[in-house]
Amino acid sequence: MASYGDFAYFYDNLTDNVDYEKRCSYIKGLLAENGVGEGILLDLACGTGTVSLMLSDMGYDVIGVDASEDMLSVAQEKKMESGADVIFLCQRMEELDLFGTINACVSTLDSINHVTDEETVKEIFRRVSLFMEDKGIFLFDVNTPYKHKYVLGDNTFVYDTDEVYCVWQNSTDESLVTTVNLDIFEKDEDDEETYYRYSEEFTERAYDLDDIKKWLEDVKFEVIGIYEELTKDSVKADTQRAVFVARKHGTQ
C-alpha cells in the first residue's frame, strides 16, 4: 500500500465532488437500523479524517486509523480546528491494535481495494473481528470487478480545479489489479504561469464479492446486506461500488 505522501495534501481538493454529508448520513442510518446508534466506532483507513469528524458530530465516539502519517497530519489539523474529540492512530489495517473493543467499524471510498493481497484482506477482517463487540456492525465499500474492468481499466481521467490540475492514468492487468499513476500540478500562488509537479503511484485490486462474503463469514461476521452505494438496492451486474454490512456473532 502506498504512503500517499504529497497526495495527502491534495486529497481533499481532488475528492471535493464526494458528498461526505450524504455518505455519513447513509452510514449512520444503516448502523442505527442494525442496532448501533451510538458507541465506539472505528474509521478504518480514515485518510484525512473527514468521515471520522462527521461521524463524531453525529454522536459516535470515533477512533480513526490510517497507515499514512501524511494523511493523519491533515486529519489532526482538522481535528484541532473543529475541536472534535476524535482519536487518530497511525497503524496499518492488518496490524490493527486497539485499547479495547468497538461497537462498529466503517471503511469508505474503496480502502479495502488498496490492499492487493487477499491474505492481507483476510487478516484485516480478522483483526476487525477481534476487536468487535458481539452484534457489532462492520460496514465498508469496495470497487467491484465491473468497475475495474470497464471504468477504471486502462483509462485516463483529468481533474481540473482552481488549485490543482491532475492527470489520473490507469493500467489494469488480468488479475484486476489497477495501477494508478497521478501527475498533480499545483499553481504557484505568486505566479499563475508557474506550476509545481508532484507524482504518486498506487494500486487497487478488485475482489469477487462472494469471496469477500466468505472471508467475513470465516471470522464470525454474518453478512446482512450487500448494496449499491448510498442505497439499499441489491448489487447488479454493472454496480461500480458495493457496500457490505456485516454483523459480528459470537467470540473468536
- Whole-model pTM: value is 0.90
Q: 55-78 burial by CB neighbour count: b if 16+ within 10 A, else e?
A: bbebebebbbbbbbebbbebbeeb
Q: Which of 17-26, 148-157, 187-196, 207-216 has the lowest mean pLDDT?
A: 187-196
Instruction: Give per-residue pLDDT as tens, 141-170.
Output: 999 999 999 999 888 888 787 777 888 899
pLDDT for 127 beyond 60: yes
Determine the average pLDDT of the residues in 173-197.
Answer: 83
- Return the pLDDT at 3: 46
Helix (H) or strand (E) holding 146: helix 145-147
The more confident residue out of 182 and 77 is: 77
Cell of 19: 458528498
- Return the pLDDT at 187: 74
Average pLDDT taken over every residue of the chain: 91
Q: Which of 12-26, 31-45, 111-125, 153-167 has the lowest mean pLDDT?
A: 12-26
- Return the pLDDT at 11: 54
Q: How many CB atoms lie within 10 A of CB 17?
A: 7
